[in-house]
Structure 1
Amino acid sequence: MVKKIGILLCILALCGGMVFAGGEQEAGQAGSEKEITLNLWHIHGWETRRVPLENALKRFEAANPGVKVIPSHYENDPYKTKLKTVSGQDFPDVFHSWGGGWLKSFVDAGLVADITEASKSWADEVSPEALAFNTYYDKVYGSPYIISGTYLYYNKEIFQKYGLEFPKTYDELMDVCETLKNNGIIPFALGNKSKWPGAQHFVHLSMRLGGPDIFQRALDGDVKFTDPAFIKAGQMLQDMVDKEYFPAGVNGINYDTGGSRMMFYTEKTAMILQTSGFLSNCKAENPDFYKTKLGVGMYPEIEGAPGNSTDILSGENAFSVSASCEHKDIAAKLVGFLSTDEQYQKDLVAGGTLGSRLGLETEEPLLKTAMTILDNATYMQNYVDQTLNPELAEKHKDTVQALFGKTMTPREAAEEMQKVYEATK
């Protein structure tokens, strides 16, 4: 459990600052001279994630009298834009992050507090893979509270109706797509206005063709972004576009506002490639579909290629403390609490979200399957738009969106990626 942190009020009175000790007195206990306020920014608008977070914050406040946490919610992409436009003292005390290259850019800019020492009290209670996504230069800059994987979801009733088995190979997947199309059903739901949903298709194809670490090797300079695996992945993706395995106009459909999910729920489509966040979305938006029709599996392997179906595209959600936060110790205590509080983590799982705390269990079939897939993964690739530096990540999403729109050839997309890589490395 998170260790108690107390306030030495006499030093507070003399210095106007805060010193934390290991005594029994909680931070902000009645009698302190001023209330401690922490601003927290997050992206969880869905009830299945927002309510557990709000309840957890209330429990933290109750355990730390005199501490007030003010949460602010933003949509995913506007949040990323907003965080880039603020700096210094305008930064929130505690902010949502995804680790990887995304968070590293803020670390390198001096905007994130080092919470290595504080993390020692909870690090062994959370997923080590997720914690590693927030560790740079042997220092910890974020505490994960949600872990995630990308899965191929499918409509079990539609598959059963047409005698389809979940595909184990890419050729089998193409056969499934052709059968669905011949029966008037679009194989894949996809809303790619925000670019990252479509990128998951490209990344899976690249990992299956070039091996699970193909993106890391490109980032390290061991291979180029013009590697044949990337070009072939683009060709295969555009082949699926040409065969109309995706809805028309995918680049104008917004996943975040529900466009592609509605196509899946209304059975205009039979599959959707999405993160584990889709489980909580589906459970909240269409509980009957979730209980009776939803199936979950992994993107199939490509026969003869080095990638395996057990290589997973994954990631996490974390909270970090800003370098400008006035009360870093209590803020670090908060992020550790959100990573390990048993009730919060159980509430996340109950809502269809995979928590980061080790030892979480569930008897709900879909969640159990998702957890088992993560546990048995042979390789975990952090979401590529979070692994790459921000400029290269944006180019990655732009080029994949262009591949879907057929405004760029696979080779042109690969050459653009290499060009930006060389300019930003």
Structure 2
Amino acid sequence: MKHIVRALKVSFVLMLVMSLVIACSSNSQSGNTDGASSDTGNQGGKAEKVTLRVMLAKDPTKDLYFDWMSENMKLFKEKNPHIEFDVTANASGDQYLTVVTTEMAANNVPDIVQGWTLERMRPFVESGRLLDLREAIESDPEWKGFLQEEPLKATTFDGGIYGIPSTLDSEIIYYNKDVFEKYNLQEPQTYEDFLNIVKTLKENGIIPMTVPNKDSWTGTIPYMMIAERIGGLEAYQNIVMDHKEPWTSEPLIQAANTLQELVELGAFEKDVNSVHTSESEAKLAEGKAGMFAMGTWRIPSLYENLGDKLGIFNFPDIAGGKGSKDHYLIIPNVSLSIAKETKHKEEAIAFLKFAFSQERQEALAKLGFLTTTKVKTNKEEVNPIAVELQESLANSTGSMYPWDVPLGAFMGAELNNATQILYMGKDPKEVFGDLQKKQDNQKK
């Protein structure tokens, strides 16, 4: 993964510029637009009945991505009446990772499975659980041309492509414009501006930033942002990606101290480690919280609740730091894969082609998700927050992956557990010393 920061800086920016141009273009058709490729040989209803097992994450609150996938299956079945779907969707977040990992270990992989990219996907590839999609993609030039190359690199291992990322996700800070306006606050350009927002909102009985850290990965979002602003992308590269420097390196300890100072200021809920995502969304929408740290996959539901009151910004610069507010956390995400041992390879591939067609990708983009395909839409039909984010990302000067994904399932979870403990006030040197020991033991 050497030089990955430089590669990310160039490739993601180019990809986002392309996405922005596409989002502003007319609604012309491209790719597999009519779903014709989804016809799997049904001849007047005489085709053999097939049931595709599908495993998806399902947020217990409103989940527009799940709704989009459900509609994909409904529409696909209308075109292919001989195909049924048996859907498992009873978990989300870390719980879903546990469910998927258990099924993979038992070699009980559904025909189609929603998963991750990078090191989160690698164990499933190396254990021979996922189908290499390269032949299917290469054999259909029109479909191949519709898929963007850069996102596929996050699901490519030893030349094989083991999934298609369906969203391009970033982790950012949302804010309630009405709350900011009421207290004469602006999007922060510096850390001092940010501290002023925290203090002003706290003094007026508003939660400055809600962080639903019941799922421990969420609390890592502010921490990663602070750490990058202090140590820059170089620290991220050396510590997280290349393991050239220990977790106890000064930028990470300084970032942990800064995070704990925010905790002491009352920047987050007192019970931050027991707050759920749905609670945070409600607090932001109701004006009980001014800001909300979360990923862009929540744009659709947040915009539905707040409309034009919803604003976004990236964490500001910290004086003396090596990072930048123009550096973003960003990753190709929510990959759809096919089981290597599926008995219905043709039908499963046909479904992926339908899900990644102009018709269905346009529907996904209109919901507010950033897509990984060359979908064409009218700018006026796309969620305005998604358009604003695309413009910001297209002007970024650097990016990094959310750390837990390239670290893999084990160390990624340990990192998130470590940052969760930081919110409880434990000594950062001790916390990251323990994390370093776990990384060292994993290498043995």
TM-score range, shorter chain: 0.7 to 0.9
Report whether the alignment pairs 1:38 with 2:52: yes
Pick aligned residue for 1:84 from 98, 101, 109: 101
Alpha-carbon shift at residue 318 of structure 1 (Å): 1.2
Dislocated runs of 4+, deviation >6 Å? 3-6
Given that 1:27 and 1:66 are in contact with CA atoms closer than 8 Å, whether structure 2 keeps it comes out as: no
The residue type equivalent to 2:266 in the other structure is E
Q: Distance in 2 between matches of 1:346 and 1:4?
A: 12
Q: Secondary structure at the match of 1:314?
A: strand
Identical pairs, percent: 25
Alpha-carbon shift at residue 47 of structure 1 (Å): 5.0
Report whether the alignment pairs 1:394 with 2:408: no
Report whether the alignment pairs 1:152 with 2:168: no
Pick aligned residue for 2:396 from 368, 372, 377: 377
Q: Distance in 2 between matches of 1:181 and 1:52?
A: 38
Report what 2:201 is aligned to. Answer: 180
Q: Which has the higher contact order (CA 8 A, sep 6+)?
A: 2
Report what 2:387 is aligned to. Answer: 368
Q: Secondary structure at the match of 1:421?
A: helix
Q: Distance in 2 between matches of 1:129 and 1:312?
A: 17
Q: Map Cα deviations across residues 3-48 of structure 1 (whole Å, 9 max, x no partner).
A: 9999xxxxxxxxxxxxxxx9x9734545766322211111245353
Report what 2:115 is aligned to. Answer: 97
Alpha-carbon shift at residue 200 of structure 1 (Å): 0.6
Q: Considering only aligned residues, what root-mean-square deviation do their CA atoms show, in Å?
A: 2.5
Alpha-carbon shift at residue 183 of structure 1 (Å): 2.1
Q: Secondary structure at the match of 2:423?
A: helix
Alpha-carbon shift at residue 294 of structure 1 (Å): 1.0
> For the structure 1 residues 128 and 25, does the alpha-carbon distance in structure 2 shift closer, same or farther, using more than 3 Å as the test?
closer
The residue type equivalent to 1:90 in the other structure is N
**Count of residues in correspondence between the two structures:** 401
Report what 2:40 is aligned to. Answer: 26
Given that 1:197 and 1:274 are in contact with CA atoms closer than 8 Å, whether structure 2 keeps it comes out as: yes
The residue type equivalent to 2:341 in the other structure is S
Report what 1:354 is aligned to. Answer: 370
Q: Distance in 1 between matches of 2:441 and 2:117?
A: 23
Given that 1:26 and 1:63 are in contact with CA atoms closer than 8 Å, whether structure 2 keeps it comes out as: no
Q: Secondary structure at the match of 1:38?
A: strand
Given that 1:27 and 1:65 are in contact with CA atoms closer than 8 Å, whether structure 2 keeps it comes out as: no
Query: Matches of residues 29-68 of structure 1 in structure 2 within 5 Å?
Result: 29-30=43-44, 34-45=48-59, 46-68=62-84
The residue type equivalent to 1:116 in the other structure is R
Q: Distance in 2 between matches of 1:409 and 1:91?
A: 42
Q: Map Cα deviations across residues 242-264 of structure 1 (whole Å, 9 max, x no partner).
A: 11110111111112xx1122221
Report what 2:441 is aligned to. Answer: 423
Given that 1:181 and 1:245 are in contact with CA atoms closer than 8 Å, whether structure 2 keeps it comes out as: yes
Q: Distance in 2 between matches of 1:179 and 1:295?
A: 18
Given that 1:27 and 1:330 are in contact with CA atoms closer than 8 Å, whether structure 2 keeps it comes out as: no
Given that 1:37 and 1:68 are in contact with CA atoms closer than 8 Å, whether structure 2 keeps it comes out as: yes
Report the TM-score, using the length of structure 1 for normalisation. Answer: 0.87
Q: Secondary structure at the match of 2:233?
A: coil
Q: Secondary structure at the match of 1:168?
A: coil
Alpha-carbon shift at residue 369 of structure 1 (Å): 0.5
Q: Which segments of 5 or more consecutive residues in structure 1 lack a partner in the other structure?
A: 7-21
Given that 2:41 and 2:47 are in contact with CA atoms closer than 8 Å, whether structure 1 keeps it comes out as: no
Report what 1:126 is aligned to. Answer: 147
Query: Matches of residues 243-392 of structure 1 in structure 2 within 5 Å?
Result: 243-255=265-277, 258-284=278-304, 286=305, 289-291=306-308, 293-315=309-331, 316-338=333-355, 340-361=356-377, 362-363=379-380, 364-392=383-411
Given that 1:189 and 1:269 are in contact with CA atoms closer than 8 Å, whether structure 2 keeps it comes out as: yes
Pick aligned residue for 1:168 from 189, 200, 208: 189
- My pick for the range that moved more, 230-239 or 378-387, is 378-387
> For the structure 1 residues 162 and 37, does the alpha-carbon distance in structure 2 shift closer, same or farther, using more than 3 Å as the test?
same
Report whether the alignment pairs 1:113 with 2:131: yes
Report what 1:224 is aligned to. Answer: 246
The residue type equivalent to 1:332 in the other structure is I
Report what 2:211 is aligned to. Answer: 190
The residue type equivalent to 2:329 in the other structure is L
Q: Which segments of 5 or more consecutive residues in structure 2 lack a partner in the other structure?
A: 1-30
Given that 2:330 and 2:402 are in contact with CA atoms closer than 8 Å, whether structure 1 keeps it comes out as: yes
The residue type equivalent to 2:404 in the other structure is D
Report what 1:10 is aligned to. Answer: none
> For the structure 1 residues 226 and 360, does the alpha-carbon distance in structure 2 shift closer, same or farther, using more than 3 Å as the test?
farther
Q: Distance in 2 between matches of 1:214 and 1:99?
A: 22
